[in-house]
Structure formats: structure tokens, C-alpha cells
Amino acid sequence: MDTKNASKDMENLPEFKAMMADLSALRADVALLAGHVKASTVSAAEAAAGQVSAEATKLMGSVANAGKSSAKAVERQIDAHPLVSLLLAFSLGFIGSRLIAK
């Protein structure tokens, strides 16, 4: 019974009550800090995702423009030399069919 009385006496001490109040305040502060860290992390992740998305869109646009430029260059080459283009296409088709047939 001495331990029960001792623990009850300890709970009534002002230092113990102050320590429990400080512990409760510390828990609240840690919870608040965790919330701020989570919000900051989410905000940083959203910003990074936005930057990646913008860069991907920019890269897709430049690849599309490069593809259009290449297609126009090939078209100009075919217009400038139609007979050579026809013979080249026929030759590539013939060689391709021979490779597939084996």
C-alpha cells in the first residue's frame, strides 16, 4: 500500500502537475510540427510535379517541332529528286522483303 500512497502523493505535487502540463504541451507542439512538415512536404512535391509537367510539355513541343521539321525536309528532298526517292524506296522494300523471307 505504500506504493499506492506514494504515487498519489506524487500526483498531488505541483512539480508533477507542471511536468504533466509540459508533457501535454510538448505533445501538442510535436503534433503541430508534424502537421507543418507534412504540409511543407506536400507543397514541395506539388511544386516539383508542376515543374516536371511544364518541362515535359516543353520537351514534347520541341520534339513535335523537330519531327515536323524532319518531315518537311524529307518532303522537300522527295520533291527535289522524285526518281531517286522512288528507286530508294523500291530498293529498301526489296531488301526488307528478302530479310523477312529468310
Q: Are 77 and 85 in contact (CB under 8 A)?
A: yes
Please write the tens of the pLDDT for every residue from 7-54: 677 777 888 888 999 999 999 999 999 999 999 999 999 999 999 999
**Residue 12 pLDDT:** 77
- Please state the φ and ψ torsions of residue 60, each to the nearest 5 degrees: -60, -40
**Residue 2 pLDDT:** 60
| DSSP label of 1 | -
**Gap between the Cα atoms of 34 and 24, Å rounded:** 15
Q: How many structural domains compose the chain?
A: 1
Query: Does residue 4 have a pLDDT over 70?
Result: no
**Gap between the Cα atoms of 64 and 70, Å rounded:** 10
pTM of the model: 0.47
Long-range contacts of 4-7, Cβ-Cβ distance < 8 Å, separation of 24 or more:
none
The H-assigned helical ranges of the chain are 2-11, 14-80, 82-101
Domain extent at residue 83: 2-101
Please write the tens of the pLDDT for every residue from 77-87: 999 999 999 99
